[in-house]
Chains A and B, each alone.
Chain A
Amino acid sequence: MYPSELHYTKDHEWIKVEGDEALIGITDFAQHQLGDIIFVEVPEVGKDLATHQSIGVVESVKSVSDIYSPVAGKVVAVNDALAQTADLLNKDPHGQGWIVRLKIKDRKELEGLMKASDYEKFLEGLES
């Protein structure tokens, strides 16, 4: 159910590694919890992020949620499409709804993240 080429965090972010860079976004579970997303605050290109530092904020009609970077790195790109179409996060959270592209600082950090099957088990645990 969750794409196997992505890795996941307990805060419901996903990360897709592409060489020494990675795309980061929020999972389908997160977008469903948030409801209709209307506004995404993204960091500036060039910003250095520490592990678990806030990348920005996702706002739905009724709530505000921080998004945390799963790994440390430098922001090399942000998804400009989100400024116009924030609901890409609802419609395609694992694809077109990507939020930032990072140049990864330390690949070893990826080892601590969940695979798709672990994330699915984690979600099942939440619902009980």
Chain B
Amino acid sequence: MNQTRFNELHKRLGAKMVEFVGWEMPIEYKGIIDEHLAVRTRAGLFDVSHMGEVLVTGKDALAYVQWLTPNDVARLLPGQVQYTALMTPGSTFVDDMLVYCIEKPERYFLVVNAANVDKDFAWIAGHTQGFEVRVEDQSAAYSQVALQGPLAEKILQPLTDVDLAGMKSFWWARGKVAGVASLVSRTGYTGEDGFEVYTTDPEPGAIWTSIVEKGTPLGLLPIGLGARDTLRLEAKLMLYGNDISDKTTVLEADLKWIVKLQKGDFLGKPVIEKQLAEGLQRKLAGFELLDKGIARPHYPVFVNGRKVSEVCSGTFSPFLKKAIGLAYLPIEATAPGTEFEIGIRDKMAKAKVVPTPFYKRGDKK
């Protein structure tokens, strides 16, 4: 298994370690529910060093990233970040990702899911014909932490020369964090305010230990992958492999907002235009259970007694204290309030479609 550069620190904090896509990662420390609620009410610190980083440079870098993705990269100024995807010609997903504009038009930093690093790098390096670009996989060099929660700025500001109060959501800046040269962005995967800190310093430990030292008296907890999943699901953030895949289109996944047709040509555009004209057959919908039980990935989903799909993501929401999830439903069954059924072991449990996200920053319990 790979280990991040913070591995020893997790073990010292008593983390329960598991294997995740070839990495030894903390699944929980104090407990998923405590960790989840800490992020929603105070702050939490995540080691996300397993994520992948791909640098695209050259005179055609902007044009190339613009071709590979559905969102409009050209509107990004240096300092801005954008959520987007790598699309197949059929408008299904290779991965979802963040694009950081480092220099326009010649330097873009792509951050991709840990599970897909090799696949994504091969994809990004494999479509360059006709573009003068250089593609580098920098994943091994980077360590990354995420500090998320209402107290994130208060905890991080004393540790960095980056002006956090002046940093808007989905912007980034370079500076030092705990003395370590870093890139800091106001981004995250929890639905809360927060920051992600990237560094190529081979000894990034001070970033973790300083944030823990500064934050613990304010109620900060270290957070494992277990709570990372419950947090992102409440905020209806996608998980590749569960909610989006090479079998789901960008429109079916309810991600039309990342498609900017007016920006020009891109991989998958003709199919998206065709789907817009024809209409959708199915769409990703959020649901909550009405009967007792928890819906989990792959449980069968039934509409009017007929199996239509399987649960994509599902868990017990620690904040809402109810069982929630996502599934692809026939388009006529996706209106909020629509009731359907999920097979949980040998019983059928009633569920209903609800608007998403399940949780928005600032919601009170």
Contact = CB atoms under 8 A, between A and B. Distances in A.
Interface of A: 35-36, 38-39, 41, 57, 59-62, 64
Interface in B310-333: 315-316, 318
Contacts of A64: 294, 296
Contact of B293 (A36, A39, A61): A39
Contacts of B292: 39
B14 to A, nearest CB: 12
A38 B226 contact: no
Interface of B: 27-28, 31-34, 226, 229-230, 292-294, 296, 315-316, 318, 345
A78 B226 CA distance: 30
Given A39-B292, A62-B226, A57 B345 contact: yes
A35 B28 contact: yes
A127 B293 CA distance: 32
Contact of A36 (B27, B32, B229, B294): B32
B97 to A, nearest CB: 25
A35 B33 CA distance: 9
A62 B315 contact: yes
A62 B226 CA distance: 7
Nearest to A66: B345
18 contacts: A35-B226, A36-B31, A36-B32, A36-B34, A38-B316, A39-B316, A41-B345, A57-B345, A59-B294, A59-B316, A60-B32, A61-B226, A61-B230, A61-B316, A62-B27, A62-B32, A62-B229, A64-B294
Given A39-B294, A62-B32, A62-B315, 16 more contacts: A35-B226, A36-B31, A36-B34, A38-B316, A39-B292, A39-B316, A41-B293, A59-B294, A61-B33, A61-B226, A61-B315, A61-B316, A61-B318, A62-B27, A62-B226, A64-B296
- With most chain B CB atoms within 10 A of its CB, the pick from A36, A41, A59, A61 is A61
Majority DSSP secondary structure for residues of B touching A: mixed
Nearest 6 interchain pairs by C-beta: A36-B33, A61-B32, A38-B316, A62-B226, A36-B31, A59-B294
A62 B224 CA distance: 12
Contact of A35 (B31, B229, B294, B296): B31
A36 B230 CA distance: 13
A51 B204 CA distance: 54
A95 B267 CA distance: 61
Contacts of A61: 32-33, 226, 230, 315-316, 318
A59 B28 CA distance: 16
Nearest to B315: A61
Contacts of A60: 32
Contacts of A36: 31-34, 318
Nearest to A54: B345
A72 B293 CA distance: 27
A61 B229 CA distance: 10
A98 B34 CA distance: 24
A57 B229 CA distance: 22
Contacts of A35: 28, 31-32, 226
Contacts of B316: 38-39, 59, 61
Contacts of B229: 62
A89 to B, nearest CB: 13
Contacts of B226: 35, 61-62
Contacts of B318: 36, 61
Contacts of B33: 36, 61
A45 to B, nearest CB: 17
Contacts of B315: 61-62
A64 to B, nearest CB: 7
Nearest to A60: B32
A11 to B, nearest CB: 18
Contacts of A62: 27, 32, 226, 229, 315
A62 B213 CA distance: 29
Nearest to A38: B316
Nearest to B36: A61
A39 B315 CA distance: 12
